[in-house]
Amino acid sequence: MRIIFFTILLSLSAGSVYSHQCVLSGTDASEIAIYNACKNDLAMGMDGHESSATSATGVTDQVSQKLILLEAENRQLQAKLALLRNRLLDFIRDL
């Protein structure tokens, strides 16, 4: 389970390296307008990329919460198994 968590975390951090960056390629009005539109899309979250810092943090938080819930469920299931094992052993002793 930890391997999956760290794989997801690593892939999210690696995704930010390949994220889209706005680059001003000229000084004329059309290039500046394209650059400004790109920066606006990044700021508004409409760039089509989900690897911004806030969304990556949100995904990491969700994964962490899910991991905590799964570990708690795992402990509950282990306790149930131990109870069933003890009941079965008691039943076998009574035979």
pTM as predicted = 0.41
- Confirm if 43 and 22 have CB atoms less than 8 A apart: no
HSE toward the beta carbon, residue 77, CA cutoff 13 A: 6
The pLDDT of residue 17 is 46
- H helices of the chain, where? 2-17, 29-44, 53-94
Place of tokens 């706005």: 22
Is the pLDDT confidence value at 50 over 90?
no
Q: What is the pLDDT of residues 31-49, one digit of tens each?
A: 888 888 888 777 776 666 5
- Confirm if 31 and 42 have CB atoms less than 8 A apart: no
